Amino acid sequence: MITVSDVKQYLYCPKIIYFDHVLHVPKPFDQKLETGKEKHDSITAKEKRRKGALFYDQELDQAEKMFRVALESNNLGLRGILDYLVRTKQEFIPVDYKFGFSHNGCIHLNHKYQLVAYAILVEENFKTIVRRGFIHYSRDRVNAQIDLSDEIRRRTLKMIREIGQIIEEEIEPVSTKNPGRCMDCEYSRYCVGSQSVD
C-alpha cells in the first residue's frame, strides 16, 4: 500500500518513491515532522473548541468534526490519516494542516494533489462525493479552498497508478526538473544525481 504522503513526495521528486519503496533506505529524521506533531495537537485543540470550523461558515455551526481520520482503499492500494474531516448534512469537507506558508495565499501544487487523494479516500470510505476541501497553512493563517473537478480526480488517480508502477516494476524514475529542490531534499545523501550546495 502507498500512502497519501507518497503523492506529495512523488510531486516533489519521483525518485523519493524509488528510494523509499524500492531501495528501502533508512528514512531520514524529519525535524519538521516532530515539530508538526506538536503544532497539529495545538491546532486540533483550538478547532475542537471553535464554533463552526477554521474556514468559518454559518452552515458549519452544527457540523460534526472528526480528527485524524484513518482512511484506506484496497482498490487503489492507498491509505492515509486525514488531519480533519468536517461532516455536515450536505457534505464532507476534508482539511489538511500544513505548518508552513501558503504560496502567496494559494495552495502549493503538491499539497493540492495530496488533498485530492484524501478526498478520493473520503469518497470511497463514506460513499459520498466530495465537492471541496481546504488546506490550512498555519504560518500565514491561510485557509485555501480547492474545488474538486473530474479533471483533478483523473490526474490524481493517474499519479497514484504511476507511483504503484515505480514500486511494482522497480524502475528508477527521472528526477525532478527543478534542481533547486535537491538542496532541501532529505534524500539527497542517497541520490547520485542530486545538486550540491556550493
Give the binding site for ligand SF4 (CB under 6 A). Answer: 13, 15-16, 175-176, 181-182, 185, 187-188, 191, 193-194
Task: Considering the complex, state which of residue 10 and residue 118 has its C-beta at the smaller distance from ligand SF4.
Answer: 10
- For 128, residues 6+ apart whose C-beta sits below 8 A from its C-beta are 91, 92, 122
Please name every residue paired with 65 in a beta bridge, in sequence order, or none if there are none. Answer: 86
- The residue among 45 and 183 lying less far from ligand SF4, judged by its C-beta, is 183
Q: How far is the CB of 181 from ligand SF4 (least distance, A)?
A: 4
Min separation Cβ 19 and ligand SF4, Å: 6
- State which residue, 26 or 75, has the beta carbon closest to ligand SF4: 26
Query: What gap in Å lies between CA 91 and CA 173, rounded to an integer?
Result: 38
* Residue 29 φ/ψ, nearest 5 degrees: -65, 130
Rank residues 15 and 40 by Cβ distance to ligand SF4 and give the closer one. 15
CB of 18 to ligand SF4, least distance (A): 8
Q: At what angle do helices 4-12 and 150-169 cross, to 10 degrees?
A: 90
CA 140, CA 104: separation in Å to the nearest integer?
Answer: 9
Closest distance between ligand SF4 and the C-beta of residue 197, in Å? 11
